[in-house]
Structure 1
Amino acid sequence: MIFFLVFLSTFLIMECVTWVTHKYVMHGSMWYFHADHHQPKYANIFERNDVFFIIFAAPSIALFYFGVEDTFNYKFFIGLGIMFYGLCYFLIHDVLIHQRFKWFKHTNNKYLIGLRKAHKAHHKHLGKEYGECFGMLFVPFKYYYI
């Protein structure tokens, strides 16, 4: 039970980590890597922004490695929480919102429509300034009713 709580807590904390990283790192010192994500899309399937996948995956991989010493310990479940958040991020951000893969083209789900609208509001700014909606799973309620 305690390991499930470690996993769940890590998953939820990752939304805060994502928000802070997106606002202050991606739209700050690492804008060079994130900038192409805010530009019109071309034929290339990869973006410089994809480097953040590696940056976020590295701690998860390390925690898996150190979390299976003799038995599974709390480090493994922290790594699992990070990995599952990354999987959700990929499915929501890259598949559902940006349609980098054409798996889910249409939805009537109000929550998913709200996520799309909030992310669209984030992308109306092509530069790194004046951003809004930096999170991924939790978005302001106003986007569910527009």
Structure 2
Amino acid sequence: MIDNNLEIAQRIRAARLQRDFTQQDLADKFNKTSAAVSDIERGKTQISAADLILFSEFLGKPIEYFFGEDFGDSDIEDVIALMRRLPPKTRKQQLPLMTMFLRMAQINYEMQNTSDSEKQAEAVKEFYEIFLPYYETMESMISQLREAKKNIESLLK
């Protein structure tokens, strides 16, 4: 973790440049002058928590990025930023499903990359226990998607 205003400022600048925005772009978006954005990026002016949240959303970075947590992959940062932009109710609904898919992928990877039959058996059991509760829900979703596809295709004819 970092606690230095200058390091936060440098991360703001790096995120802006990564997204190909100018200081003027940020200034226009947040009703500031380009000089004010420059002062923030140089650490001359400390950014408020409220502005940092707005910058975070606009620049597509999770707030943790500005405090030194580096996820090492912009795809991961994009997923986190996308999740944070969801309405709380939607996020609450989607998070368990995303967690399940990620855990299943991790278990699958572990099963394929170990020669220990006991660990493989544990992984298979865990995979089954995680997947089973969602199986009927997923089957229902697929059925609904097929029906929706048919309806859309008939409307497009």
TM norm structure 2? 0.25
| Higher RCO (Cα < 8 Å, 6 or more apart) | 1
Q: Would you tell me which structure has more helix in proportion to its own residues?
A: 2
